[in-house]
Structure 1
Amino acid sequence: MSAGGLKAELRDFWPRLIDDWRDDWLSLIMGVALLFAFSQAWLCPLFGYGDQSPAVGGLIRNFYYPFYLMAVTVAVVCWRGLLSAVWRTPLLLCLCGLCAASYLWSIDPSGTFRRVIALFMTMLGGYVLAVRFQWARLLEVIAAAFVIMMIGSYVFALFLPRLGLMQDLFPGAWRGLWAEKNNLGSFMSIGAVAAAAAALHNPQRRTFWWGMTAGMVLLTLLSTSKTSLVCLVLGMGGIGFIYLARKGPILGILLSWLALTVLLGLGALILYAPDKLYLLLGKDATLTGRTFIWDGITRVMQDRPLLGYGYGVVWSDESDYAPLAKITHVAGFRAFHAHSCWYEVWLGLGLVGLVNWALVFAEAWLKGFYRMLRGTGGYFALPMLGIYGLSSLTESMALSWNDLRWCLFVIVAVKVSLPRDEDSKNFTLRA
């Protein structure tokens, strides 16, 4: 961009921003607030960086209710589009319905009931944001939420280092608003991709969004999380892939075949040389003890292979003969989740739920590729799915209540399922 163009963009930044969002400012505020709430970036600053007591846990649950109300409010405003989205995502709805149905066989029905409500509201938030906004505006909403997290993390790390920097396990590593450095790295790697996509979809504010991208990339590096760095490279590489694929049909086909080859190679690496992948992610052969947890889950699932133990309750039942006790005995330590989307879904919903989740995941990927080739998908969809897919191997992010990453997955899965995006009518996608 020329110096004159940069000055014009900076001069017109606020007038154009106000004009672009004049009719949608309330939806913008509620959308950003909803995503920020699901990020849980407020949790440690408000309730402390240590373990919370049960009383504090009750306050935390109550904290979400105003944001649930925001999701319901937006749903009422765009109810027609919401019905269309519901009709077009049957697999995702079946997965949510299976979580609710697991109340019937759950080892803690009341716990499953409470968490299903929270899951439903989290997914409703994803649905309404996907329906309410066009790609260009949606990406600004998502990126704006991450900008708030980024600014807060810089403030805490620079001016309140006792809180913003890790003190024990990894002294000096930046953790920002979260309890662990890996959380900061994970969210900032996704935020950087969202901000970069916002820059490409909103050329009138590209300088601002590229600046925010740089700030989030720096935070990812300062977190010293190797997995987050790999996710960042994967996400940014995905944006470059989409940009080049849109240059023409021949190049798009060639790049698609290249992407398929890379995915097959990655699958072969996972199957036949997992130690090399662990080294890339900065993990040992046990993935920092995760394989011991998975071995314990495999053993307890022999008793309930088809339907599992109920949604979201295994890790809170600490009775002597509960599945958690057996997993702890095998793993040698007390785990708080499965550290894998796939094992987590299998544990709660059995083989039936695992197959359903695999179909949802595959459907999102196929629709994302299709939309990319047709030029109607955003720059965020495939990179987000790539980051999510990699992270899903070692983190429990699928069907997570009050979780930003699950909400973003729902947004992408719904958005690529909707008809041809309206961005082509109102916005020009330019790089």
Structure 2
Amino acid sequence: MRESRPDTVLIEPAPSLWERVICIGLIAMLTGALIGPVFAPLQEETPVLRLVWLPAYAAIFGMAAYRIDRMWRAWPAMLAMLSVVGLAFASKYWSIDYETTSRRVLALAISGVFALYLGAVFRGPHLPRLLMHAALVMAVGSLAMVFAFPSIGVHQADNAGLWRGLWYEKNQMGAVMVIGATAAAACLASPDPRRLLPALTLGLASMLVLATQSKTSLLCLIVGLGLVGGFCSLKRGGAAFSVVAIWVAVVVAGLGIWTWETHSVAVLEALGKDPSLTGRTEIWDSLMRKVADRPWTGYGYGAFWGRVGESVPADWVRKETGWTVPSAHNGWIDLLVQLGWPGAVLVGVLMAATALIAVLRSMGSGVREGWWGLGFLAAFFVLSLSESILVQHQSLPWVLFLAVLTRAVLPSPAPVAVPLVEKRRGAYQTGSRIAAQYPHGPVRSRTVVSR
């Protein structure tokens, strides 16, 4: 079934079809869909997996060169990206694994180029629509794996019976489907009248999030959809509704923070989670002790989590926690062990600045994109508290964050901002009257007498 074309012309024309197809393929690769489980079933870097990325890198550079006229306008985002890459590059001089840091910094830089391309070329509603299409393709592929190849699509040992689709484990599928669902919701909230595929993607992606039984993914889904839906309601509900809704949101947020601070154990038990967050708190305590040894430099970008026997500090953490820890399960702590406090502060400033600009521009570009940027940023921040997604090479969440940053610093393509709350006219209020239009006004129209 084909979607009807929009009746109105969008702010900027959509990129060409071949660009969209290539970008969907690159987005799927950044999620690790199927490629990782096939070429690296043990979740380790292999020479074959590196070769698979070479055509992708060539495509990124080719598209960037093709759209260089748009990308150079995003020079503030380019400087921000280069500051992060530069710090990661400098860390190789004190890294505990010089070769790994050098290799992953290169991948981080190329991923940053792709992020700048997405943010500069896919303006307005085009980026969330691209993500919606990519998520729909991967959702259908995940269903095929679950029912046709359950040995790949369903967990067999740990978390047996839970769906993981095209990925290594369920949390990865949950994060990708959250991105897709948020993008689909933004498409529904945008002025674009096409509704069929966004509604289908939203339902399918949300169902797959539930199938993972990932509490973190479910929370990110609620936050992302809630923020998009909240801004959409503010725009359509009128001034009185907006005031009440904002007041209720502030009160609920305050109660939530108070409840967490005073009854966090009870909240976690109600959600079916143990107070240690499945051993995460033990990992965090152990890692913070290692951070204290190198607070200003870290251990080098991408160098801390080596294989067993290859990284002394990682082996120390694994021995202390009693299991083979693959990552910090927290983006900020993982950033601390790699780049130290300078890296964490830099990323925090970039994230706060991006969120602030997105809020300030919510009356203009936010309306056109269905507030996708704000919804993604909220889900991205929540996910960073439980998963290592910050400054990751070949990672879709980090690429999309840089894309949101790029879109935030670019000038708006439309000179007129759309108000967040529509101004309603009273029941008996009429338009303005000009005195010169009436015969008894101060300026009378000249009467012409025909002869």
Could you say what secondary structure the match of 2:95 adopts? Answer: coil
Contact persistence 2:31–2:395 (CA under 8 A):
yes
CA offset at residue 132 of structure 1?
0.7
1:187 and 1:423 map into 2 onto residues whose CA distance is: 34
Residues 125-144 of structure 1 correspond to what in structure 2 (within 5 A)? 125-144=114-133
Q: Structure 1 residues 84, 343: CA separation in 2 closer, same or farther (over 3 Å shift)?
A: same
**Residue 63 (structure 2) aligns with:** 74
Compute the displacement of 1:302 (Å).
2.0
Q: Is the 8 A contact 1:295 1:330 kept in 2?
A: no
1:51 and 2:61 equivalent?
no
1:32 maps to: 24
Q: Decide whether the 8 Å contact of 1:246 with 1:375 is kept in 2.
A: no
Q: Is the 8 A contact 2:358 2:408 kept in 1?
A: yes
Give the alignment partner of residue 196 of structure 1, picking from 173, 185, 192: 185
Q: Percent identity?
A: 29
- Give the secondary structure class of the aligned counterpart of 2:362: helix
Deviates more, 1:160-169 or 1:124-133: 160-169
Which residue of structure 2 aligns with residue 302 of structure 1?
Answer: 292
Could you tell me how far apart the structure 2 residues matched to 1:186 and 1:423 are? 35
Cα distance per residue 1:242-288 (max 9 Å; x no partner): 10222356655665565555555555555554435534664311111
Contact 1:269 1:276 in 2 (8 A): no
Q: C-alpha distance in 2, partners of 1:397/1:29? A: 25
Question: Displacement of 1:171 after TM fit?
Answer: 2.5
Q: Which of 215, 222, 226 is matched with 2:211 structurally?
A: 222
Q: In 2 relative to 1, CA 120–273 (structure 1 residues): closer, same or farther, beyond 3 Å?
A: farther
- Farther-moved stretch of structure 1 (391-400 vs 219-228): 219-228
1:64 aligns with: 53
* 1:113 aligned residue: 102
Q: Partner letter of residue 243 of structure 1?
A: C
In 2, Cα distance between the equivalents of 1:181 and 1:317? 22
Distance of aligned partners of 1:260 and 1:401 in 2 relative to their CA distance in 1, 3 Å threshold: farther
Counterpart of 1:148 in structure 2: which amino acid?
Answer: V
Q: Check 1:347–1:111 CA distance in 2 against 1; reply closer, same or farther (3 A cut).
A: same
> What amino acid is aligned across from residue 25 of structure 1 in structure 2?
L
Distance in 1 (CA, whole Å) between partners of 2:340 and 2:224 is 31
CA offsets, 1:146-165, max 9 Å, x none? 11110100111122223222
Larger mean CA deviation between 315-324 and 304-313 belongs to 315-324
Q: Mark the CA change 1:141 to 1:313 in structure 2 (over 3 Å): closer, same or farther.
A: same
Structure 1's 26 and 315: CA in aligned 2 closer, same or farther, altered over 3 A? Answer: same
Quote the Cα distance in structure 1 between the aligned partners of 2:77 and 2:174.
33
Kindly indicate which of the two structures has a greater share of residues assigned to helix: 1
Distance 1:262 1:411, change over 3 A: farther
Confirm or deny: 8 A CA contact 1:308 1:348 kept in the other structure.
yes
Alignment of 1:153-168 (within 5 A): 153-168=142-157
Post-superposition shift, 1:321? Answer: 7.5
2:159 matches 1:170: yes
1:213 corresponds to which of 198, 202, 214: 202
Please tell me the root mean square deviation across aligned C-alpha atoms, in Å: 3.0
Residue identity matched to 2:18: L
Mean CA deviation greater in 94-103 or 365-374 = 365-374
Change (3 A) 1:254 1:347: farther
1:326 to 306, 310, 316: 316
Matched, 1:185 2:174: yes
Aligned counterpart, 2:343: 353
Q: Secondary structure at the match of 1:134?
A: coil
1:291 aligned partner, one-letter code: T
Gaps of 5+ in 2: 423-451
Residue type of the alignment partner of 2:275: A
Q: Find the counterpart in structure 2 of residue 287 from structure 1.
A: 277
Match status 1:372 vs 2:347: no
Gap change, CA 1:23 and 1:340, over 3 Å in 2: closer
Matches within 5 A, 1:90-101: 90-101=79-90
AA of the residue aligned to 2:147:
L
Per-residue Cα deviation, 1:151-206 (whole angstroms, up to 9, x for no partner): 10011112222322222222222111112122222211221111222233363421
What's the offset of the Cα at 1:298? Answer: 1.3
User: Aligned pair in 2 of structure 1 residues 301, 11: CA closer, same or farther (>3 Å)?
Assistant: closer
Q: How many residues align?
A: 413
**CA, structure 1 residues 420+195, in 2 after alignment: closer, same or farther (shift >3 Å)?**
same
Q: Which of 389, 392, 415 is matched with 2:384 structurally?
A: 392
Give the structure with higher Rg (CA): 2
- Cα distance change, pair 423–201 in 1 and its aligned pair in 2 (3 A): farther
> Where does residue 399 of structure 2 map in the other structure?
407
Question: Normalising by the residue count of structure 2, what TM-score does the alignment of the two structures yield?
Answer: 0.83
Give the secondary structure class of the aligned counterpart of 1:189.
helix
C-alpha distance in 2, partners of 1:186/1:224? 12
TM superposition score normalised by structure 1:
0.86
Distance, in Å, in 2 between the alignment partners of 1:191 and 1:47 is 25
Q: Does 1:362 align with 2:352?
A: yes
8 Å CA contact 1:154–1:176 kept in 2: the answer is yes
Shift of 1:417: 2.1
The one-letter amino acid paired with 2:391 is L
1:79-126 superposed Cα distances (whole Å, 9 cap, x missing partner): 233222232464443222211111121111221110001111112111
